[in-house]
Amino acid sequence: MKKTLFTRREMLLLVLLASIQFCHIVDFMIIMPLGPQLMKALDASASQFGFLVAAYNLAAGICGFIASLYADRFGRKKLIIFLYIGFTLGTFGCSITDHYYPLLIMRALTGMFGGVLTSIIFAVISDLFEDKRRGAAMGILMTGFSAASILGVPIGVWLGAKFNWQFPFMCIAGISVLGIITVSFVLPPLRGHLEHSPTESRTKAHFYRKIFTTQSTRGALLLMATLTFGNFIIIPYISPALVANSGFSANNLSLMYLIGGLVSMVTGPTVGRLADQFGKAKVFRGFALFSCIPFLGVTHLGEVSHVLVYFITTLFFFSMSGRVVPTTALVSTTITNRERGRFMSLVNSIQQLMSSLAASFAGSVVYYNSAGRLLNYSLLGYISCFMTFIAFYLVAKVKSIE
């Protein structure tokens, strides 16, 4: 009988964690395809929309840094429940406001909890699965992202068009309440990282000195910062650009996320297994080079066939999965188990801050002309490819200690 890679209990845990990711990713992503509708309803400019996206990431980045100081002092389960509750309240707040600045505050509040929640989930995966299975586990976890694209975002866009832009957030908050209850009963305590006796390495000063003076962990932070910036100068404005420049409707956007998510769900676990088999850095390099094609394609789309748009955006989703899965798995192997929670919180903090910076930067570059077209989006594609080549170089400096 062929031996399975994961036990039934491990698969249940992975599915549960992926479902938490599903709620978080839908909440984070849905505001971007709702951008055209939201900007019209709130009378917001392209740059204001960029700040709306950035607020979530900025709050997540700051709180992620704080969490990196204390994340390993608490049981993972208790911390996940606390963060999940805060995330749910923030999402509910988004569903009951109809003005720009209150929404800006609610997005920041949601980011405070949601961003840290992701880093703790990644720490759990790194705690429970050794290096030879971690890529595959990350691949399964990333199906939460794919499921968000397949179900959450398309349905959310449809609900936003049928009712109003607030309604999808109300639905996410309701699903999250059910998620909190499930986590409370199903998730194990996850306190193994607390069993180590306190040592100097657990002090804050020593931890940060070690992180920033060790080439591998320093390189891991630089790699994630570079890669994230390159991603997020493009992602927030995909939907506004397709609506303004390619004539897409809400239904077209739903179908785009559906197709891209299906492809990512199928390929994500495969990418993880390839990373485990052939090396995480090698697989990342292959996808990094390939990704420049869809990245440039997405940012240069105009009035072309919708079929071509679906093809290029699907390649974009596929290449994103190929970049994120092996990189996250590789970065998690650069630190010891007892320090991994705070390190992954720090990694997530860097990612969120760079996402905020990138979204704000992109908002200052793109603008609508008098004909309603979004201009300068192509420039962001070239910058993204430049950042990709820097990441291609930096990955060589990230070495696993396992």
How confident is the model over 149-170, as pLDDT tens digits?
A: 667 777 888 888 888 888 999 9
Work out the average pLDDT over 245-271: 81
- Parse the chain into domains and list their residue ranges: 8-188+203-397
Whether the pLDDT of residue 383 is over 90: the answer is yes
The C-alpha torsion from 15 through 401 and 120 to 30, rounded to 10°, is -70
Q: Percent helix, strand, coil in the chain (nearest 5)?
A: 85, 0, 15
CB atoms within 10 A of CB 359: 27
Q: Tens digit of pLDDT for each residue in 58-79?
A: 888 788 777 766 666 777 788 8
- CATH number assigned to the domain covering 8-188+203-397: 1.20.1250.20
Share of the chain above pLDDT 70, in %: 88
Q: Which amino acid is residue 269, in one-letter code? A: P
pLDDT computed for residue 264 by the predictor: 76
Instruction: Say if residues 314 and 267 touch (Cβ distance below 8 Å).
Output: no
pLDDT at 48 over 90: no
Q: How far is CA 77 from CA 172, 182, 345, in A?
A: 21, 12, 15
Q: What is the pLDDT of residue 1?
A: 44
pLDDT at 277 (0 to 100): 82
DSSP character at residue 152: I
- Quote the pLDDT of residue 72: 65
Q: Would you give the distance in Å from CA 319 to the centre of its chain?
A: 14
Q: What is the mean pLDDT of residues 239-264?
A: 83
Note the Cα 207 to chain centre separation in Å: 25
Residue 133 token pair: 């299975």
Per-residue model confidence (pLDDT) at position 356: 82
- pLDDT tens across 190-237, in order? 666 555 544 444 566 677 777 777 888 888 889 999 998 998 899 888
pLDDT at residue number 163: 84
Average pLDDT, the chain: 82
Residue 3 pLDDT class (50, 70, 90 cuts): low
**What's residue 92's pLDDT?**
94
Reference 177, options 12, 20, 14; nearest CA is: 20
If one counts every other C-beta atom within 10 angstroms of the C-beta of residue 142, the result is: 25
Distance CA 364, CA 384 (A): 15
Band (pLDDT 50/70/90 cuts) for residue 382 is very high
Higher-pLDDT residue of 134 and 195 is: 134
pLDDT > 70? residue 327: yes
Q: Show the DSSP H helices in 129-237 as ranges.
A: 131-141, 143-147, 153-162, 167-186, 204-213, 215-232
Residue 248 has pLDDT above 70, yes or no: yes
CA distance 238 to 242: 6
- Cα angle for residues 157, 159, 160 (degrees, 5° grid): 60
Longest dimension (CA), the chain: 66
CA distance 222 to 394: 7
More confident residue, 146 or 390: 390
Q: Is the pLDDT of residue 106 over 90?
A: yes
